[in-house]
Chains A and B, each alone.
Chain A
Amino acid sequence: MENLYIAATPSSPEVNFDFAQHHLSVRGESYPENAAAFYGDIIKSLRDYLALCTDTSISMDIALAYFNSSSTKMLFNIFEALNDAQRAGNKITVNWYHDEEDDTMLEFGQELSDDFTDITFINHAV
């Protein structure tokens, strides 16, 4: 399956889904004009890729310095997809990066970890 790479813009993150290496990353800031449109195709690609995975170790790096509410809603969909893939027998690790002084981001990562219990969350303060 072809890898997915979308360069960062001032309002949207860099998306680098290296499906061949089973290494996915989203980094930057996220407040695109239309979050549903921006993330729609990304989540579709992610789901297509995950559907092909069996017994695979997959890592997802999330390093977002800022994301707005619409992006948050789409992030839930990404985690839902990852959680489903874990239940289907894969091993999903999410690396949650946040600024060491950003408690709000730290707590949000912890809440995601509470909600999506099948995924392994690793917190990274940077």
Chain B
Amino acid sequence: MSQPNPDLFDQENLALAAARSTFESDTASSAQYREALGELINCYERLLRETSRLIRRSDREEFEMNQLNNRLNELASELEYRATHDALTNALNRGAVIAKANQIIRSQGLAIIVLDIDFFKQVNDSFGHLVGDKVICGVVEAVERCLPESGLVGRVGGEEFTVLLQDSDYTQAFTIAEHIRAEIAGWDFSLPQPRQITASFGVSWTPAGASFSIAYGAADEALYKAKKAGRNRVMRADQL
């Protein structure tokens, strides 16, 4: 049987105890001292050799682990990006827009602009889906050009987008929406045949702590009114 409490360094401790016992003896002969020293040297050399092997191996394992960890972090952030962004436009996706809006609205007021490309189905039907995709990307690009630094844009449906403005009041949000509207209306989408692309807009503003779905519903209703009123225009939810 092994000792009651086996330890990794049993062998080294034994060698140390033997050397100490000889060291403390007043009566050992010089041959005995020499023998004890020899055994200690053997043990020390072995410990040195094993320690250096162990450290080399650990260093290598650590290095590999570190590299794997870096790769893992890269993949995790890539995955997170893909899970929160629309693959076509790189705008936020629907889930990310809702999560972000809920997060903002907990602590501060939020202006929401919803916009929808006018007669988008006709664009797809006339020019095909590839051109349709190009129009969608162009719209996102036009929107991004008009946003303040803290503004966010997401694609929440096929041709429907949402802009979140956390530092804007109603008037500022309306002005930004108007700016976006004009930018899209004047944008060169390089279509096969000349045709103007426009979008309709609804704007709402909600104080901190309110419900996002009510705020979104209000902006969506304003968008509906903008469509009914002839499209290519911006409507405020508080002025319907």
Contact = CB atoms under 8 A, between A and B. Distances in A.
A67 B166 CA distance: 53
Contact of A73 (B8, B56, B64): B8
Size band of the A side of the interface?
A: 20 to 34
Interface stretch (B47-55, B84-92, B171-179, B231-239): B47-55
Interface stretch (A2-10, A91-99, A104-112): A104-112
A77 interface: yes
Most buried by B among A35, A72, A74, A112: A72
Interface in A88-126: 103-104, 107-108, 111-112, 115
A107 B60 contact: yes
B94 to A, nearest CB: 41
Given A73-B8, A74-B8, A115-B49, A40 B54 contact: no
Interface residues of B, number: 19
B27 interface: no
Contact of B58 (A36, A69, A77, A115): A69
A36 B6 contact: yes
Contacts of A44: 1-2
Interface string B5-22: 011101100000000000
Given A104-B57, A104-B61, 20 more contacts: A36-B8, A36-B10, A37-B2, A40-B2, A41-B1, A44-B2, A69-B54, A72-B57, A73-B8, A74-B8, A77-B11, A103-B60, A104-B60, A104-B64, A107-B57, A108-B57, A111-B53, A111-B56, A111-B57, A115-B53
Interface of B: 1-3, 6-8, 10-11, 46, 49-50, 53-54, 56-58, 60-61, 64
15 contacts: A36-B6, A36-B7, A37-B6, A40-B2, A40-B3, A41-B1, A41-B2, A44-B1, A69-B54, A73-B50, A74-B8, A77-B11, A107-B57, A107-B60, A115-B53
